[in-house]
Amino acid sequence: MDSDKSSIFGEHMTNEFLTKNSQYFKTDENEEWTEVGTAITNITPGSISNVVINTTPICPNMSNKEFRGLIMRLRDAALTLINERIADVARWDMSAQDRAKFWFGRSDQYIRDRLNWSAKACSRDARTAT
């Protein structure tokens, strides 16, 4: 293959194509349509890739956009509650110990350490959900 044709098939072409056409690949969380991928084809006869996209709504009662919004609001509410529990465990007053004893049957240092670690992990994981 001569050097003129090699750039057509190489990474340079891919990057150049995406740069020139990037306006077509924008994603807006306020829109119902979201980019699920990009494709570049070659000139080999019979070279076909079938792509199947599942367009079934996540929830039958609302659009995917409404569902995403609801999940983000619920995540934010959960983060508020998780952060309250983190503060309770840090304070570890009688109220926090009584709550631990009610839910876990005990309120010793082991439970406090587990709650501290677990609540912080839940907070971290929830914050990464976007």
Enumerate the domain spans of the chain.
64-128
Q: Based on the number of CB atoms within 10 Å of its own CB, is 11 exposed (0-12), middle (13-18) or buried (19 or more)?
A: exposed
Distance CA 67, CA 11 (A): 38
pLDDT at position 25 is 55
Q: Give phi and psi for 2, each to the nearest 5.
A: -80, 165
Q: At what angle do helices 64-91 and 94-104 cross, to 10 degrees?
A: 120
Give per-10-residue mean pLDDT for the chain (130 aa): 43 56 59 65 72 83 92 96 97 97 97 97 92
DSSP code of residue 90: H
Instruction: Determine contact, residues 118/85, Cβ cutoff 8 Å.
Output: no
